[in-house]
Each structure stands twice: as structure tokens, then as C-alpha cells.
Structure 1
Amino acid sequence: MTDETASLLAARDLRVTFPGRRGGGSARAVDGVNLDIAPGEIVALVGESGCGKTTLARTLLGLQKPTGGEVSYRGTPLRYGSKDLKAYRREAQLVLQDPSGSLNPRHTVYDAVAEGLRIHGEVADERERVADALSRAGMRPPERYFLRYPHELSGGQRQRVVIAGALVLEPTLLVADEPVASLDASVRGEILALLLRLREELGLAALVVTHDLGLAWNIADRVAVMYLGRIIETGPVEKILTAPEHPYTQALLSVLPEGGTPVVLSGEPPDPSRVPGGCRFHVRCQALASGAAEAAGVAELCRTTDLPVLDGRGTLAACHLAQARVALPTPAASGERGDVEPQG
């Protein structure tokens, strides 16, 4: 599914830096990211606030020009001329966290959904397409909502209108930035079910940006965990959320119900203009603090040796300890009987 020839959207060594404050070093918001999204695939991009998730999403949509690296769509590098971006944004649509902020309070539901068609000059069958988009988003019968204003709708209904505004252009990819974070718990499940249904009915791919690993479990095929500008673990959702390799992912999961003893990370994520040497997580890493990395003989590597950018395929963790465990010989490789229990 993640073979490059089959990728709908791909990022290669993507980097975005912003000027530092008061003459300080540049902030590395996205610091070397490889990511693939296949047609019809839902990828969850998870991590703490400030880790670079939203900047990465904006860059994938062409809203932010990368400092380095490349974004490609259907194998063609993204170009940043106005005509090129307009054509691309017809295919890739953004769904924001706060539907109230996404909708103009002076525009009716009909005008909000029709806006994309008017921008792209596709008004010949406007009414029919607006009605179809609202219907697909669960606003039925759609005509009932045409003349309503955002303040007359519930939060869930407003989010459905935002989704309808994205669907009206018949895109192939949705980028949803915290799509249910501002909604009541009773409505979140409905919106997630809607996104899954749209994937089944329309073959839509989606990148869902979230800090909520429970949401990722319910909706995603794959998970990419981001920390300090870089993806530090990626793989199928079942593998990452049941047997994570990276200590950061383990800490994120520990706070979920039935996640075991919560792991309290020390301090805050480092300043992206001062990314620490070695593993970028080592200053907060519970495996290093507990002595597990020392016992595995990788503590000095954790402190001094950076890890390569993950290639975006398979199940991978940018962690010296995880890689050391993978490198340990299996009983079969070391000539031991398969029924002998491993020691230590």
C-alpha cells in the first residue's frame, strides 16, 4: 500500500524552517519527513501540541512552501505557481478543527458549500452538486439547510457543512486537522463514522492530524508518530497502538484507558530552534532515565548519535534501543532449540 508507485501523496525529506526570534537560530518545524498516503488510505499523524503536525499538514496541502525536500501528488512534484496550486487544491481539501472559525457567519449553508465551485468556475450544476455534497455529509434533506446560517446549527452540523464544502469539488484526499477536537463526545463518533463511510463510498484518502490516539485507533489504517519536527515511529495502526517500539509512543499510549501505568515525561519538548544532539527525544526518554538503554549498551548512542529519517514505509522506529532489540539474535539464529525460553 505504501509502494511509491502507488502513492497518492508523498513527501520526501520535507523540511520547513522559520526564522528564530530575536536573532536566534531557525526553528525546524518540520525537520526531515518522509510520508506516503496511498489511494483510499487513512493515515493518522499523532503527537503533542507543537511537534509540527499542523505545519506538515499545511505543507502537504501547498499552503506552506517547504524549505527543503519535495511533495509529490500522483508521482508529480508539487509546483507553487498559482494555477498549479489551484488545480492541486481541487484534489486535496482541508477540514479544520473549529467549524465555527471555518464558516463565514454571514454566509448561508448553501453559499458556504458552493464557495469552492465558484472559485473554480464550476457553477453549471451548482445546486445539484451542493445538495449532493450536503447529503453525503449527512445533512438530509439538504434543501432544509440551504438558507440556514452557522449560528442556527449545532457543532456537529457545522462540521458536516465544512466536510460538505470539501466534498463538493470531488477531491481524492482530505487533510483533517483535529476534525473532532471541538465537538462533544456524543458527536465525535458520528463524524468519524462519516469519514470512514466517505472512504468506502468515494475512495477518499485522508490524513487525520490528531493528538488523540484513541481516534487514530478508530479510524486509521496507519499511524505516523511525530516528535520535534520528525516522524519517529510509523506502521499499521494495530502494531503501533498495541506494541509500540519507541519510548515516546509508549508514553503517549500509557495515558489511555487500559494503557497501563502512566508514563510521566520530564519537562517540555525542546525548542525547535535548539534540537538536541543524538536522539531528539533522549532528554525526556524514560528508557534512558530508567537505565534500560544503558543495560542494552546504547545509552551513549542515544545522547550523541542522531538517527536517520524514517523512509515512511513498513513498521519503523527511530530509536537506538528499539533497533538494538531488533538486532538481538533469535534462538534459531544462534543455534538454540526453539522451545528454550530466552534468558533475560
Structure 2
Amino acid sequence: MTPSPAAPEATGAPLLSARGLHVAFPGRHGAPSARAVDGVDLDIHPGEIVALVGESGCGKTTLARALLGLVEPTAGRVTFDGRPLEYSGRSLKAYRRRVQLVLQDPSGSLNPRHTVYDAVAEGLRIHGHGGDERAAVAGALARAGLRPPERFFLRYPHELSGGQRQRVVIAGALVLEPELLVADEPVASLDASVRGEILSLLLRLRAELGLSALVVTHDLGLAWNIADRVAVMYLGRIVETGAVEQILTAPRHPYTTALLSVLPESPGERVVLTGEPPDPSRIPPGCRFHVRCQVLAGGGADAAGVADACRGRDPGVPDGSGTAQVACHWAHARKG
């Protein structure tokens, strides 16, 4: 398995940045709030592809929605191109021209009554495009790999394959010439034979257009094939982050190790985590992973002298800068 072609090393100011981001949803009937995003720092630099990885329910989709301005944070801030994100209608409209969402289910993203042309042109019409609409739609379809584009103008979603529908969704994002794509499980609903084509397309768009991307996925194999950097999320927080090769060949957090162990190419033994992730309205003290941690359960944390810290002391939050960091008492004890 060969990692994706790397982008130039990230330097300078990030394009998108989150600092101290929290998103909480009120509980029912006076129950505690669910802390879906619970203190996240994350940077995405120009031309960089970051994979946000974790189990279902860990908060990664809520984090992506907060970065898009679809959910207003309870606390913390999002900045884009050096400016804080504002939540007025006009500001968000301008922001969403520069940051576009690509959803996992192209069938659900496309109106079955709209032709491909109308689906791709919709963003132009919403944002008041003043140029040649037909040329813009054709250019977006061609960049998404649907050539000749005119052949697809009058087709409907049901007349397309799953891969073609996903390319139409990507074209609908590209037509506004964004600087950043947020792709939520972009190949989860596609056959294995088509997945590689869509991932190659995203890499080509980065190379040709300088696009940045946040790819939300539960699949570390996908991250290996497309990302420059990985951020591993558990119960509302990023618990490990760093370059894709480092994270996926030498993981430091026990949760990352467990996620990797289920990949077919994994050389180690499979790690079966006990139980389900805790309720985000009742996050345990100390390290939030300790109730499922195979290292703590196996005595490794005791041997390193950090078992009490795992159960009672918060290991902190990676600062989002892109350097390799881990929120784990045991990993820090081993390094020390």
C-alpha cells in the first residue's frame, strides 16, 4: 500500500483554523448537554488534504458541519483565510462560495427531477454568477472527469452510475471555484472499483487547482491513500494527529492502534475494543478513552506508572498545528 503523493510541506498561515471549538446539543427533559465536539484545535493549510478519522458517533461530522458554518459553535472560533467566521446570512453565503461540501450519498445529494446541468448550475444561480453559465458548468463537469460534458447535460441522476453521480456532486462543488472541499465519507457508498477513481480525482484536483480538503472518514485505509495528515477523533476530541505515514505506521494512541488493527494489511494482531463509546453527555474523567483502553486493561499503563493519571487526569488537546501530537499519558510516558 503506497501513501498518496504528498503536498508541499505546509508552511505559513493555515487556510482554515479551529481553536477551542465546542458544539453541545441540549439534553431532553433537563438531561446534561451532549458534547458532540468538546475542544478541538485543527488547521488545514493551502493545498493540504487532512483526513478526519474515527468511529461513527465520535463527532467528526458535527465538527465538519461547524467548520462549514452549518452549526454555530457553543464556544471557540473558526477562522478562514485569517478572518473569523461570522454567522450572518451574507457572510455565510460568501464563505460557502469558497468552502464547499461533498456528501457521501450522491443519490441523496441530487434532486432526481433535475438534470445534471441544473444540478451543477444550482450553485451558480444561488450565488449570482455573472459569467457564461454553460461554459462554467461544462468546465466543472470536465474537471470532475465527465467528458465530453455536453453529453451529460440533459441526463438525470437515475441514468448515471454511482461513480458518475459522485462526479456530478463534485462538479457542483467545483463550479464555484472553491479553495477548500469538505468531503464527508466521499466514497463510502461506491463499489471498490470506483473508489480509487474518485480518490485519484480528488488528488488530481489538488494538484491542478491547489484545492485543500478535509476528508471525513471512518476508513484509515482511505486516509492512507489520499491524506497528507491525519487527525484521529474520539468522543468529541482529536486524540492523535500527524503526518499520514507516521500515524499509520507508528501510531502512539491505543485508539489509533485499534482502528488500524482491523485493516487487512495490518501486520499486528487485531484489537477488539470492549463496549461502546461513552455517552457524549456523560464523558468519563481523565482520558476519555480509558474505559475501553486495551493498554490500561492489559496492565501497560500500570507498568508505565500512569494508570491513575489515565483514570483521573485529562491528557489535554493537540494544538492543531500539524506537528505529530498525541493526547495519551501512556504514550508520553513511553517517549519519556
Shared fold (TM-score, shorter chain, > 0.5):
yes
Per-residue CA deviation, residues 148-168 of structure 1 (Å, 9 max, x unaligned), is 000000000000000000000
Deviation at 1:272, TM superposition (A): 0.1
Partners of 2:141 and 2:117 in 1: CA distance: 9
Residue type at the aligned position of 1:34: D
How far 1:124 sits from its partner (Å)?
A: 2.8
- The answer to whether the 8 A contact 1:2-1:36 is kept is no
How far the C-alpha of 1:107 sits from its partner, in A, is: 0.4
Q: Is the contact between residue 16 and residue 30 of structure 1 (CA under 8 Å) also seen in structure 2?
A: yes
Which of the residues 273, 277, 282 maps onto 1:274? 282
Structure 1 counterpart of 2:269: 261
Q: Distance in 2 between matches of 1:301 and 1:202?
A: 47
Contact 1:117 1:168 in 2 (8 A): yes
Is residue 14 of structure 2 the alignment partner of residue 10 of structure 1?
no
Q: Distance in 2 between matches of 1:195 and 1:256?
A: 22
Counterpart amino acid of residue 148 in structure 2: P
CA distance in 2, matches of 1:76, 1:11: 11
Q: Which residue of 1 aligns with 2:325?
A: 316
Q: Which residue of structure 2 lines up, in the alignment, with residue 285 of structure 1?
A: 293
- Asked if structure 2 preserves the Cα contact closer than 8 Å seen for 1:109 and 1:150, the reply is yes
Identity of aligned residues (%): 77
Aligned counterparts, 1:145-184, within 5 A: 145-184=152-191
CA deviations on 1:173-202 (whole Å, 9 max, x unpaired) are 000000000000000000000000000000
Length-normalised TM-score, structure 2: 0.96
Larger Rg: 1
Give unmatched runs, 5+ long, in structure 2.
1-8
How is 1:199-218 mapped onto 2 (pairs within 5 angstroms)?
Answer: 199-218=206-225
Any conservation in 1 of the 2:182–2:214 contact (CA below 8 Å)? yes
- How many residues are matched? 326
Q: Distance in 1 between matches of 2:236 and 2:324?
A: 19
Q: Secondary structure at the match of 1:6?
A: coil
Contact 1:233 / 1:315 at 8 angstroms: preserved in 2? yes
Q: Please give the TM-score of this superposition, normalised by the length of structure 1.
A: 0.94
**Residue 251 of structure 2 corresponds to which residue in structure 1?**
244
- Residues 90-127 of structure 1, C-alpha deviations (whole Å, 9 max, x = no match): 00000000000000001000000000000011043100
Aligned to 2:140: 133
Q: Structure 1 regions of 5+ residues with no counterpart? A: 328-344
The answer on 1:304 being equivalent to 2:332 is no
- State the distance in 2 between where 1:257 and 1:212 align: 12
Per-residue CA distance 1:69-102 (angstroms, 9 max, x = gap): 0000011100000010000000000000000000
| Cα distance in 1 between the residues matched to 2:104 and 2:13 | 29
Aligned to 2:5: none
Instruction: Report how far residue 325 of structure 1 moved.
Output: 1.3
1:89 aligns with 2:87: no
